[in-house]
Amino acid sequence: MLHREGKATIFITLLFLTGLNYLIFWLAPDLVWLQNLIIFGSIVLLVIVLQFFRNPSVEVPLNEAHVLSPADGKVVVIEEVEEPEFFQGKRLQVSVFMSPFNVHVNRNPVSGFIKYFKYHPGKYLVAWHPKSSTENERTTTVIERPNGVQILFRQIAGAMARRIVWYVKEGQTAKQGGEMGFIKFGSRVDVFLPLDAKVTVGLNQVVKGGVTVLAEIK
């Protein structure tokens, strides 16, 4: 199943590859090796684009005490940090890096009320850069659970990710594991947890969006 965000990109890719192959066959009708090379390269590129926009079904293990990973990828940061935008205080940060080969659907880590949302234009530093969380193009979403506990998570564009898409706004109700957005071509998601949260993943662990439990909270 392909994600709706990929329709335009897939169409443009098909159009470009069709034109390229037609041009090669027209300009070099006798160079069979070149024609075959372009055909092979076109198939590889198309497969890469298609797999990037795949959207497999996910069975979300709903649990109010769990914070689920908002994205597929690898855990690259687990540390106590100062969160200046909303909390203006210390929080536990868990960051998930998405390579171009991961599913890029972003999901709500918890259920609750969307207390805060803001889009920030910015730079396109590599996603693992320490300043990417505060200087890159990004969105910040805060979900408040029924017991008042607030979880902040941030979509961050990377050097290749030039478009962040979100489907949420302040005042809405968020369902744990539900789609909240999409980031194209490599990026990162930061999650900011209460200091007493019990982190249940380790550095470099591979996680699955809407499935893997990042932490347990009260």
What residues act catalytically? 187
Ramachandran region, residue 112 (left: φ > 0; alpha: ψ -120 to 50; beta: rest): left
Chain centre to alpha carbon of residue 218: 26
Task: Tell which phi-psi region holds residue 182, choosing left (phi > 0), alpha (psi between -120 and 50) or beta.
Answer: beta
Start-to-end CA distance of the chain, whole Å, equals 36
Residues ≥6 apart with Cβ < 8 Å to 40: none
* Torsions phi, psi for 210 (to 5 deg): 75, 5
